[in-house]
Structure 1
Amino acid sequence: MNSVKRIIAPQSLRYQLLTRMLFILSFILMVIGILQYVIMKDFLYENEAESLRSKLMSIPVEAFLTEELLQEPPNASNPGFLSREEFSLAFIDGEYTNLLGEEGLSVPEISEREREEIQDDLSNRMPRTLLVVEDPDGGRQLLVFRPIPPTDGERGMLQMGVSTEKLQQILWRQLFTFVVLSLIALLGGLIIYLSVIRKTLNPLSTIVDQVKTIGASNLTERVPVDHGQEEIDRLSESFNDMLERLDISFEQEKELKNQMRRFIADASHELRTPLTSIYGYIEVLLRGASQKPEQLAIILSSMHGETKRVIALVEELLLLAKLDRAPEIKVEETDLSTLVRNMIPNLNLLVDERTVHYDLTEGLIARVDADKMKQVILNVFHNAVQHTDPVAGTINVSLVVENERALLSVRDNGSGISKEKVAHVFERFYRADDSRTRQQGGAGLGLAITKSIVDSHGGTIEVESEVGVGSTFRVYLKLDR
């Protein structure tokens, strides 16, 4: 019962397919019926006309061309042939002469113009002419004509007609038979087509039922794609692709929420530590330390350092928020080698007794935001300084072309990063070596900021590291051709 309701529902695909199929089939049958009627009518009329012409040509016209015979009904000499009631026979020589009298059908008269056209056609041996006209009794007759040798200088012709009633009966029987057979065909087609539609749309119904069972908690389920129907298979594949994207989006959203929670927790922790220190120093001052110059200087110096740490952390958080929302970069053609070279004096201030080597390829032009790229170089270089020995540490900075891209790499011989930590170095507040970075004031945001800036330029940043050997950070940027 439910399947029937689905089929007859106006918005059902089954209903639409069924009605359109019936409409198309009915239209085709109607056209076939009309063509059959027209062709059959022409065939029957032409066949009947040929029969009439044969009868008309068999009449011994020479026997009644004299005035005496024309005044006497010719059926007197041939009563068996011309006395049939379904025929009409007339001699035309300017006027109509009914040759069968009351025994035959009434003679229909055609116009003078039509008579002249028929006589011309017969004289010129044009295709045989037939007419269907209305007779004086209200019936319709099929007429054929035969030329008669001229008498007294005037042309004459014989006109023979037969009622079309029997022909019309045959046509209507044929049409009725066709209509009945067409209705039977439509009914049989309807029954067969319902079964075909049901089997054809079963895969679609299966997909609908499976889709109803899929929710946010089970996005890993997939719809079968092998139904043996190309369109349904493509629909299944498209739906599975959509589920895949939804699944990825949900996972990303879940991960984003987790990162946000970790970010808030880490930011709160980072801010709480210096604020707690400042709060403790203020309590010490309130207890009388402000009266002791030597203690006051130490406390103020510590508070100043913690305040700078808070300000730096807040600035880094604001910068990350801007980069996440809509990176505002002002790109222009920049010579990367000149950019790095101009930063060397500032970078050398960070190295203490470490050894630094520079290998810069000249003439590498890229469309970048120079200030943002300076921050990238500074962050990566500062990270290398933090993880190398102040005396034995070695840092190599190179700028080369690789695979039609500019490659800026910073390699150090520091402590290195373990494989399980390498995947997290660009996460916010992540510290591969917590004690070292905290001791030097790092909050774990430098590399996260670096990655956001590089991403905003359409570049990539990678890290390769080995514990006890050192780390290499590589920044790839598009060259401006």
Structure 2
Amino acid sequence: MRRNRFFPVGRGTLSPRSLRSQLLSRSLLVLALLLALIGSVQYVVVKNFLYRNQAETLMSQIRGIPDFFLFGGELPAWAERIGGVPASPKEGERRPVLFLPDTSLALISSSSEVISRSDGSGLPAPRLSEAEYAAVRNQPRNLRKDAYKVVRDPNGMEQLVVFRPADGPQRRGTLIQMGIATAHLKAIALRQLTIFMVLSLIALGGGLMLYLSVLRKTLKPLHQMIGTVRELDAGNLDRRFPASLGQSEIDRLAVSFNGMLERLQTSFATEREAKEQMRRFIADASHELRTPLTSIHGFLEVLLRGAADKPEQLNAALSSMLGEARRMKKLVEDLLTLAKLDRAPVLSRSEIRLDALVAEMEPHLRMLADGRSVVFRLAPEMTVTADSDKIKQVVLNLFHNAVQHTDPAKGRITVTLSRVTEHEALLCVQDNGPGIPAEHLPHVFERFYRSDASRTRKQGGAGLGLAISQAIVAAHGGRISAHSAPGGGAAFEVRLPAAAADAAAR
């Protein structure tokens, strides 16, 4: 059966795609590469060390070779000219000469001719080029003790050779060349490398066993986070990750997750609230539209039953139908206004004087007051950058709301315009009505909200005026608020940012 690629891997198993297996494999790969690099460097260092020691040994042996061995016997004419000794020295003067095994010995004349001086059991002497021999002759004496060359002899065997100038003024330009096979030196270096690699493999095996437990403990906070995430859902977003798990990277991840959960929780709460508001909005809008439609439908049925033949009943029915149609038309217009303000309100901004705008509306407002006492207190030279038609709509809505909630005979409405700060203007509409109960005060700007559920349509509108006013003020970058005390009336305050020129003049 094929395993699902999305099936979660348990903590005790290793999958090629799991973080633990990837960390383990990559760590072991890096460690293996480091050990291989160290082994290679060690092999080169050991080989060079062995070659250098061997070169020093050969130089010491060259210095102990007697002249009769080097220059005795039958020599060519050039060897006799540089001070060769008789082939048969006196009895008792010949001393034994010992050589390392697998060595070669030769004399190099000034013309780079090679004369081998080892016996038949030795190795053939390698031959270098004239340029290389010239470079050896020109090398400073203090550098020759550590100088050596690795070359191949006529048989193809690799040898390490050293050079020493012959003593005596008559032997100037003559070099003594001694070499030894490098096979045993390489064998030693390879043996050291093999021991190192075996120990490295043992260390990798032991480290693997220890690293698994350490890695499991290191990834434990991450597994805890995975378990917490699995328990989260849209209805359970109050879980949070511990912000101190002992690892800075995991801690930062936990803080980021907690911030994301906070935003998700806020977003879900806002969405639920928006859905609830939409549900209430649809229900209230349906109710507001159903009432005039039901009224018009009833009047039409009355007219169809014969009331149309009676002028007095016909006029009353038509007047009522016209009133309901106007109210329905006003409701639809208010809904369209709110929809436009919710999208991207288009405002025709210009610098206007609020005191002049309210003074212009004063005759209309006094007519709407219908006998109620109206007082205007307008501070002069109050300039704002706003859409004059929209601001007039706000003033009209607030004034109409005050008229609806004040007594026709004893009602008193005060319109005040003042400066709060040099950057803010305050417009206040206050009445002496019954006020707004404290439990209803936070909801007065909600759409279709009514603080008095028993009010008739004649006493109140659809409940959209304050919502429209709030949207207009917010589009201008201002604020609107309501203040009330039971029995002490209500006051609606609009704060608008003052125009730049007006603020600079102050």
Worse-matched range after superposition: 137-146 or 239-248: 239-248
By how many angstroms is 1:175 displaced? 0.7
* Map of 2:347 onto structure 1: 329
For 2:11 and 2:467, locate their aligned partners in 1 and report how far apart those are by CA, in whole Å. 61
Matched ranges for 1:179-190 at <5 A: 179-190=197-208
Is 1:292 aligned to residue 310 of structure 2? yes
Letter in 2 for 1:233: D
By how many angstroms is 1:229 displaced? 1.8
By how many angstroms is 1:289 displaced? 3.1
Worse-matched range after superposition: 176-185 or 109-118: 176-185
Give SS of 2:377's match. Answer: strand
For 1:124 and 1:455, locate their aligned partners in 2 and report how far apart those are by CA, in whole Å. 94
* Map of 2:137 onto structure 1: 119
Give SS of 1:243's match. Answer: helix
Matched ranges for 1:259-298 at <5 A: 259-298=277-316
For 2:34 and 2:383, locate their aligned partners in 1 and report how far apart those are by CA, in whole Å. 73
* Map of 1:46 onto structure 2: 52
- The answer to whether the 8 A contact 1:123-1:147 is kept is no
Of residues 12, 17, 33, the one that matches 1:11 is 17
- The answer to whether the 8 A contact 2:103-2:181 is kept is yes
Of residues 87, 90, 95, the one that matches 2:103 is 87
For 2:427 and 2:494, locate their aligned partners in 1 and report how far apart those are by CA, in whole Å. 5
By how many angstroms is 1:153 displaced? 7.2
For 1:65 and 1:122, locate their aligned partners in 2 and report how far apart those are by CA, in whole Å. 25
- The answer to whether the 8 A contact 2:411-2:431 is kept is no
- The answer to whether the 8 A contact 1:337-1:399 is kept is no
Give SS of 2:123's match. Answer: coil
Give SS of 1:423's match. Answer: helix
Cα deviation 1:92-151 (Å, max 9, x = unaligned): 113212122213222111111100000000468667421011122322111111111466
* Map of 1:398 onto structure 2: 417
Worse-matched range after superposition: 239-248 or 439-448: 239-248
* Map of 1:456 onto structure 2: 475
Give SS of 1:226's match. Answer: coil
* Map of 2:504 onto structure 1: none
* Map of 2:437 onto structure 1: 418
Is 1:20 aligned to residue 26 of structure 2? yes
- The answer to whether the 8 A contact 2:157-2:181 is kept is yes
- Shift of the 389–307 alpha-carbon distance from structure 1 to 2, 3 Å rule, reads same
- Shift of the 380–320 alpha-carbon distance from structure 1 to 2, 3 Å rule, reads same
Matched ranges for 1:171-186 at <5 A: 171-186=189-204
- The answer to whether the 8 A contact 2:149-2:162 is kept is yes
- The answer to whether the 8 A contact 1:386-1:437 is kept is no
Of residues 56, 62, 83, the one that matches 1:56 is 62
- The answer to whether the 8 A contact 1:274-1:306 is kept is yes
Instruction: Let me know the Cα RMSD of the aligned residues.
Output: 2.8
For 1:224 and 1:243, locate their aligned partners in 2 and report how far apart those are by CA, in whole Å. 13
For 2:94 and 2:428, locate their aligned partners in 1 and report how far apart those are by CA, in whole Å. 128
Q: Unpaired runs of 5+ in structure 2?
A: 1-7, 73-79, 501-506
Cα deviation 1:325-380 (Å, max 9, x = unaligned): 443334444444444343333333322332222233525333x3332222222212
* Map of 2:406 onto structure 1: 388
- The answer to whether the 8 A contact 2:56-2:145 is kept is no
Q: Unpaired runs of 5+ in structure 1?
A: none
Letter in 2 for 1:51: T
- Shift of the 125–228 alpha-carbon distance from structure 1 to 2, 3 Å rule, reads closer
Give SS of 2:295's match. Answer: helix
For 1:437 and 1:423, locate their aligned partners in 2 and report how far apart those are by CA, in whole Å. 22
Letter in 2 for 1:91: L
Cα deviation 1:19-58 (Å, max 9, x = unaligned): 2212221222222122212222222211211121122222
For 1:24 and 1:331, locate their aligned partners in 2 and report how far apart those are by CA, in whole Å. 68
Give SS of 2:235's match. Answer: helix
* Map of 2:94 onto structure 1: 77
TM-score (norm 1): 0.90
* Map of 1:36 onto structure 2: 42
* Map of 2:213 onto structure 1: 195
Give SS of 1:358's match. Answer: strand
Worse-matched range after superposition: 267-276 or 294-303: 294-303
Worse-matched range after superposition: 44-53 or 106-115: 44-53
Letter in 1 for 2:165: P
For 1:137 and 1:375, locate their aligned partners in 2 and report how far apart those are by CA, in whole Å. 113
- The answer to whether the 8 A contact 1:73-1:99 is kept is no
For 2:34 and 2:356, locate their aligned partners in 1 and report how far apart those are by CA, in whole Å. 80
TM-score (norm 2): 0.86
Cα deviation 1:147-197 (Å, max 9, x = unaligned): 114665751011111221221111001111111122122222222222222
